[in-house]
Amino acid sequence: MQSSVPTEKRTKTSQGKQNRFRFLYSKKLAPYVFVSPFILSFLILFLYPFISAVNMSFQQVLPGQVNYIGMANYSRVFNPTFYTALQNTTIYVILTVVILTVLPLIFAIVLNHRLMKFTNFFRASIFIPALTSVIVAGTIFRMIFGDSDSSVANQFLQFIGLNPVEWRYNAWSAMFLMVTLASWRWIGVNILYFLAALQNVNHDLYEAADIDGANTWQKFKHVTFPAIKPVVIFLTTITTINGFRMFEESFVFFETSSPGNIGLTVVGYIYQEGIQRNDMGFGAAVGIVLLGVIFVVSVIQLFATGAFKKGDA
């Protein structure tokens, strides 16, 4: 009678372990285990900062003192400096979306041609700028586009008979520098996206188009573009969002200020107000407004490109 009690306990313990292992390896728990890293990172890195930013946008944050001030921060957002920053950012977004969509598509089509040689070398080479630090690249660009007559860019202009340019002191040249740096860094990545999409186009469709007598443009319009349209929509959307979030390209050329705010972007304005002037509540309000702008523009863009249509894109 005394020996049966430990045996019963061992049996129950063994069954308990089996139940725990069965639960850990069950199909009901496994999906939650696999998605838990994303859920945790989403909660910690996105949802919590977002809620904190929304809450802070209604506060006046001073050292050791936080006061709720209602909509006072939002009433200050729409001022001339913000409109200048939004205008610069919008021009930057439009230019980068056009350049980083059209040029990579053309280069990808050339690299994907059957007569193209050394394609693997070019594919590896065009990805190098994306691995380069924006600070290092910006420093090199500042040397190339220096304001002195001896800079590389100004020497080239003088060689072709044009006057030197003070690149960082004109609105058009300031925008040119920021767009050129961003395009140089990301054009290779977009080329790889388009190359992957082009290589998945069904070649039977090209053969059918040849039989029907289609020319090069007609094959691109009716075969190639519909096949790579999801990639086009993805790249334009990502480029738009990254354009509105741009800060580094402006900072490496103008640091914290530029003449006449020609290099000021919305994120740079948030940095000026929130960090330099220690007005965290107002900076958070500008950030929430920027989030709304990005959301509205992205939704309009996706509607315009037909991304929400069922069975399309």
- Please state the three-class secondary structure of 27-46 as a single string: CCCHHHHHHHHHHHHHHHHH
- Model confidence at 3, pLDDT cuts 50, 70, 90, reads low
Which residue has tokens 């930013």? 53
- Model confidence at 313, pLDDT cuts 50, 70, 90, reads very low
- The dihedral over CA atoms of 283, 300, 309, 210, expressed in degrees to the nearest 10, equals -120
- Residue range 196-213, pLDDT digits in tens: 999 888 888 888 988 888
Geometric angle at alpha carbon 243, from 279 and 61, rounded to 5°:
10
Written as one letter, the residue type at 256 is T
The H helix count followed by the E strand count for the chain is 15, 2
Cβ atoms 281, 54 nearer than 8 A: no
DSSP E strands: which ranges in the chain?
Answer: 59-62, 65-68
Looking at residue 227, what is its pLDDT?
92
- Residue range 151-165, pLDDT digits in tens: 999 999 999 999 999
Q: What six digits make up the tokens of 75?
A: 């009433």
Q: Once rounded to an integer, what is the mean pLDDT over residues 215-220?
A: 89
User: What phi, psi does 215 have (nearest 5°)?
Assistant: -85, -175
Residue 1 has pLDDT above 50, yes or no: no
Looking at residue 99, what is its pLDDT?
96
Q: Using CA of residue 236, residue 237, residue 238, residue 239, what is the dihedral sign? A: positive
pTM: 0.84
Lowest mean pLDDT among 118-127, 220-229, 303-312: 303-312
- Model confidence at 30, pLDDT cuts 50, 70, 90, reads confident
Identify which has the larger pLDDT, 120 or 103.
103
% pLDDT > 70, the chain: 91
Residue 308 has pLDDT above 50, yes or no: yes
Distance in angstroms (rounded) separating the CA atoms of residues 264 and 250: 7
Q: 214: which DSSP letter?
A: -
Residue 2 has pLDDT above 60, yes or no: no
Kindly report the average pLDDT of the chain as a whole number. Answer: 87
Cβ atoms 91, 75 nearer than 8 A: no
Distance of CA 271 to the CA centre of its chain: 18
Looking at residue 74, what is its pLDDT?
94
**Long-range pairs of 218-227 with CB within 8 A, sequence gap ≥ 24:** 220/109, 224/109, 224/198, 227/197, 227/200, 227/201, 227/202
Distance in angstroms (rounded) separating the CA atoms of residues 171 and 260: 9
Cβ atoms 60, 284 nearer than 8 A: no
- Model confidence at 29, pLDDT cuts 50, 70, 90, reads confident
- Residue range 123-150, pLDDT digits in tens: 778 888 888 888 899 899 999 998 888 8
